[in-house]
Amino acid sequence: MHCKSQWLVFIISYLAYGNAQKNIGAICDDGGFVLEAAFTVAIESVSSEDDPYEAKVVRTTPGDVLEAHNAMCSVLEGNVFGVFAPTNEKALKHVQSISDFLEVPQILVDQSVAHNRNWSAINLYPNHVAYSQAFAEIIDNKGWEEFTIIYEGAELLPFFDAIFALQDLEAGNEVLMTVVQLPDGDDFRSHLQTIKKSGSLNYLVNCRRETIETFLLQAQQVGIMSDEHSYVIMNPDFQTIDLDPFKYGGSNITGVRFFDPSVEAIQNYVKSINAKVAELSEDQIPEAVTENGLTLSLALMYDAVMLYVAAVKAMALEDGSSVTCESGRGWAFGSTLLNNLKTVATWNIEEGYKETRVIIPAAEVEGSESMKGKHFIVLTALSAPYGMLKESPKKLEGNDRYEGFGIELIEELAKMNEFNYTFDIQADGVYGSLDKKTGKWNGMMEKVMDGRADFAITDLTITAARQKAVDFTSPFMNLGITILYKKPTKQPPDLFSFISPFSLEVWGWLAGAYVGVSLLLFLLGRIAPEEWQNPYPCIEEPETLDNQFTMANSFWFTLGSVLTQGSEIAPIAVSTRMAGSMWWFFTLIMVSSYTANLAAFLTVESKFYAIKSVQDLANNPYDITYGAKKGGATLGFFKESDNLLYQKMYQYMDEHPEYQTSTNDEGLARAKSTEENYAFLMESTSIEYMVERNCDVAQVGGLLDSKGYGIAMKKNSPFRQPMSESILQLQEEGKLTRMKDKWWKEKRGGGACADDDAGSAEAQPLVLANVGGVFIVLAAGSGLAVICAIFEMLVDLWVISHRENVSFIEELKAEIKFIISGSSDTKPVRHREPTGSGSGGSKKSKIEDEESHKEVENNLNAPTPSERSMSHHSRHTLHSRRQSNAVQMARMRKFSKATY
């Protein structure tokens, strides 16, 4: 068993045993010894007689969230200082949720992107943006004009961000890239064969360390490891791979490493790990770590323990969090410790490593007692609802002149820390930005840095640039950038809105069902014997039979059912009645569904949204102008962002300074104006305040980023910690939430605008998935009707063949021939019985028929004088009518004679 990258969680805890010994715990989920040994060695290296630490390990079942939960809660009971997070996804998410809720910091040492978004998480693993930038520079230095990106899992895609950016067509960089994902398993030969056939010679590979050797071996087998091929391996544990089998092929294989294994300190660390592994494994065969086998995870874990203990010592923390899973409250020092961890030092691509914070010895750190009785200048700006002039008929002086969220927050902090204060107003409303040409700050930031103000509070965003210049307390409010724009307008009704209840797909299927059933009824009418009826009931033996289901009548019958009007046509045969019944059921469901959904479309008011997201705003389909506050953090966000969309938006705002405003109120006025189609970009909290009081504007889209407001003070101020602790206490007690509700939704006209969009979801047309079942019922019923009609026809033909003593097959052929012909709506009777008896009767009947025909012909051949003046076509039509009537009259006379 190996504990390679499956550590569930490492916990630093303080247990009140004996002489205040500090215990650092770990939970391992695979029973291995290498990481446990590395963890123990790191703990021993930071321990001393004056400040003893001891490693404690708890093992759990791999991937068992319940065991992880119980282990986490168990260790939390021992005064936890922080969490060294796991790599198992399920356990990690659960442990992170506990850490976030209890405000216990945690450190990650694994390759992850999503985990960095957690409040409590700090990842020592190289950030994917910087990591990809490093390899982008390697590729640029190599001069690759084409290469293939080969990766193992989708979680590795963010590590190619800067590499994908190499293909900048606008800048003229036409780099040919091909992206290939390796399949699951350990056989990649088919994919490598495809890569070989493509002709690519350069390969950028990012996969797990366990996969690299297999990949290179199979690449050698396929034949893409010659002197013309070049590889760049992105895995940081590249130095742990034995490359001897591949160094004679001539390929250039490039990788990176984060430490030199030949350094004496690294070698001693490896020896200590191996010794500890042998001690832990006892009678088992111990795992060994070679000089080149030290992975980045082992190294980062050692650094993480060192970093965390250094931060705890710097803050002189002797007591842990004293929180448990059941306590429901967070650690007051959690965010302070987290900020200490984040601000020890930073590194970026442009400046490299840079010291950003001087660790103050514990003896020099002043606590809340140092604020007692002191007087401070608090700088603020008249920005609603953070700072406003109080409305009063009396003349007010001093601090009584102001009110707002920020004013009340300072009042609460002053009560908690027993200090006095005087408000000073930033008249120009400038919060502060850095002039890169002069290297100087302006606005509120300048006054705080110069000592003209002790604190600055308003909607002042904590940014990286400002963090370098001043100190901030823990955020008292979290927010993000979003869009302020006019509320959506009412959309005029559509002339063809009556078709909206069904989707176009359903309308198409409905039309198809109508045509199909109509044709089916026509076919069933010709097949079913009972549908062929005697047109003259007075004649026992007619020459022909009529069918009511003509083509026109079939379509009319189904149409009448759809419109719920019915028709004079009534099915007679079992098969046609079955098909008609299925069609009636179908139309009942469809008409009911249409009527019900039509009511929804008539009652729900549709609205027109010019923009719904920042992408819509950037594309600008309706000539919407947009801007942000000049010199503010919002504009700075777009300026510093590496997102191509945000860069495009900043370029637009930079080229149009007339769209930038001096205040947020000016941006609100322009967004409300009917003379200007303008959208204003600003912080979400300010927009929430505005839309509560201005009913003609609304927040559009989601948050573009996540940041916070904090109280600014001079760098290395001794008052930062007590102020942060007090803010955290106000958050835990729920006072900050109540204060926000008070100033956003109650004071100064709050709550004036009801949310007219709440509960009014837009009506949606029915799609095939909603009504597909009734189509299936119709199809099944129609199929049964066809089977029934065929059965009826066969039975009738069988009876006729036996009665007339004729061949059944011949009868069937004649019937099928007639059905297929479809040429007439009348059917000749093939086996008529004679009207008289015997041959004499038959002869007499024939003579009477001949006489009738002669009589008809004589009458028809004698045109009247008026008919002679008619056209040939008119005389022909009249002749046909008379012929039909004469035949009927002759038959009636013959029937009367026979009856008589």
User: Rounded to the nearest 10 degrees, what angle do helices 209-222 and 189-198 cross at?
Assistant: 60
Highest mean pLDDT among 109-123, 629-643, 770-784, 846-860: 629-643
Report the pLDDT averaged over residues 400-424: 93
Beta strands in 279-329 (DSSP E): none
Whether residue 137 contacts residue 109, with contact meaning beta carbons closer than 8 Å, is answered with no
Going by their DSSP bridges, the two strands 7-14 and 80-84 should be labelled as: antiparallel
Whether residue 708 contacts residue 464, with contact meaning beta carbons closer than 8 Å, is answered with no
Helices (H) and strands (E) in the chain, counts: 28, 33
Residue given tokens 């056989």 in the structure block: 187
Highest mean pLDDT among 191-195, 340-344, 603-607: 191-195
Q: Cα(876)–Cα(882) distance, rounded to whole angstroms? A: 10
In the chain, pLDDT over 70 holds for what percent of residues? 76
Q: Cα(723)–Cα(690) distance, rounded to whole angstroms? A: 29
Going by their DSSP bridges, the two strands 471-472 and 712-713 should be labelled as: antiparallel
pTM for the whole structure = 0.41
196-212 confidence digits (pLDDT tens):
999 999 999 999 888 99
Which residues touch 686 (CB under 8 Å, ≥6 apart)? 383, 459, 664
What residues does 477 pair with on adjacent strands? 709
**Residue 110 dihedral angles phi and psi, to the nearest 5°:** -120, 165
Helix ranges (H only) for 47-159 are: 65-76, 89-102, 128-142
Whether residue 801 contacts residue 521, with contact meaning beta carbons closer than 8 Å, is answered with no
Kindly report the average pLDDT of the chain as a whole number.
78
Q: Cα(634)–Cα(628) distance, rounded to whole angstroms? A: 7
* Number of Cα atoms under 13 Å in the Cβ half of residue 899: 9
Beta strands in 504-624 (DSSP E): 532-533, 544-547, 607-608
Q: What is the pLDDT of residue 647?
A: 92
Q: What is the pLDDT of residue 9?
A: 43
Taking CB atoms within 8 Å and a gap of at least 24, the contacts of 850-858 are 852/887, 852/890, 852/891, 852/893, 852/894, 853/890, 855/886, 855/890, 856/883, 856/886, 856/887, 856/890
Q: How does 734-746 read in b/e, with b if 16+ C-beta sit within 10 Å?
A: eebeebbeebbee
Take residue 287 and report the two structure tokens written for it.
Answer: 């795992």
Q: What is the pLDDT of residue 843?
A: 45
321-334 confidence digits (pLDDT tens):
778 888 777 887 77
Whether residue 744 contacts residue 654, with contact meaning beta carbons closer than 8 Å, is answered with no
Asked whether residue 13 carries a pLDDT value surpassing 50, the answer given is no
Amino acid (one-letter) located at 257: R
Whole-Å CA distances, 130 to 160, 182, 347, 384: 10, 24, 10, 39
Take residue 596 and report the two structure tokens written for it.
Answer: 């019900």
Q: Cα(301)–Cα(39) distance, rounded to whole angstroms? A: 7
Q: What is the pLDDT of residue 740?
A: 92
Which of 134-148, 177-191, 595-609 is predicted with the least confidence, judged by mean pLDDT?
595-609
Asked whether residue 551 carries a pLDDT value surpassing 50, the answer given is yes
Highest mean pLDDT among 43-52, 287-296, 508-517, 819-828: 508-517
Q: What is the pLDDT of residue 48?
A: 79
Report the pLDDT averaged over residues 686-713: 89
Q: Cα(195)–Cα(208) distance, rounded to whole angstroms? A: 20
Torsion angle in degrees (nearest 10) through CA of 817, 820, 823, 827: 50
Going by their DSSP bridges, the two strands 176-181 and 146-151 should be labelled as: parallel
Report the pLDDT averaged over residues 600-604: 67
Q: What is the pLDDT of residue 832?
A: 54
In the chain, pLDDT over 90 holds for what percent of residues? 20
Whether residue 719 contacts residue 711, with contact meaning beta carbons closer than 8 Å, is answered with no
688, with CB counted inside 10 A (0-12, 13-18, 19+), is middle
Which of 38-42, 363-367, 499-503 is predicted with the least confidence, judged by mean pLDDT?
363-367
**Residue 473 dihedral angles phi and psi, to the nearest 5°:** -75, 175
Q: Cα(398)–Cα(517) distance, rounded to whole angstroms? A: 87
With bands split at pLDDT 50, 70 and 90, how would you rate the model's confidence at 813?
confident
With bands split at pLDDT 50, 70 and 90, how would you rate the model's confidence at 838?
very low
Whether residue 269 contacts residue 306, with contact meaning beta carbons closer than 8 Å, is answered with no
**Of 244 and 666, more confident:** 666
Q: What is the pLDDT of residue 115?
A: 46
Asked whether residue 272 carries a pLDDT value surpassing 50, the answer given is yes
Residue given tokens 């930031």 in the structure block: 445
Asked whether residue 179 carries a pLDDT value surpassing 90, the answer given is yes
Asked whether residue 853 carries a pLDDT value surpassing 70, the answer given is no
Q: How does 421-439 read in b/e, with b if 16+ C-beta sit within 10 Å?
A: bebbebeebbbbbbeeeee
Q: What is the pLDDT of residue 5?
A: 37
Highest mean pLDDT among 185-194, 268-277, 610-619: 185-194
779, with CB counted inside 10 A (0-12, 13-18, 19+), is middle
Whether residue 495 contacts residue 418, with contact meaning beta carbons closer than 8 Å, is answered with no
712, with CB counted inside 10 A (0-12, 13-18, 19+), is buried
Q: What is the pLDDT of residue 284?
A: 67
Whole-Å CA distances, 377 to 453, 457, 468: 5, 11, 22
Distance of alpha carbon 218 from its chain centroid, rounded?
38
Whether residue 233 contacts residue 205, with contact meaning beta carbons closer than 8 Å, is answered with yes
**Of 767 and 624, more confident:** 624
Whether residue 17 contacts residue 79, with contact meaning beta carbons closer than 8 Å, is answered with no
Peptide bond preceding 385 in cis form (omega within 30 of 0): yes
**Of 18 and 871, more confident:** 871
283-315 confidence digits (pLDDT tens):
666 677 776 778 888 888 888 888 878 887 877
Going by their DSSP bridges, the two strands 252-254 and 230-233 should be labelled as: parallel
Asked whether residue 444 carries a pLDDT value surpassing 60, the answer given is yes
Q: What is the pLDDT of residue 854?
A: 54
Q: Cα(449)–Cα(457) distance, rounded to whole angstroms? A: 14
Going by their DSSP bridges, the two strands 345-348 and 352-355 should be labelled as: antiparallel
Three-class DSSP labels, 259-291: CCCCCHHHHHHHHHHHHHHHHHHCCCCCCCCCH
Amino acid (one-letter) located at 284: Q
Take residue 177 and report the two structure tokens written for it.
Answer: 């890239």
Residue given tokens 């832990």 in the structure block: 280
Instruction: Name the residue among 5, 62, 1, 57 with its Cα closest to residue 32.
Output: 1
What residues does 23 pair with on adjacent strands? 13, 54
In the chain the domains, ranked by start, together with CATH numbers, are 7-125+295-346 (3.40.50.2300), 128-254 (3.40.50.2300), 366-479+708-747 (3.40.190.10), 497-604+767-828 (no CATH), 608-705 (3.40.190.10), 839-899 (no CATH)
**Of 528 and 842, more confident:** 528
Which residues touch 189 (CB under 8 Å, ≥6 apart)? 218, 221, 222
**Of 706 and 411, more confident:** 411
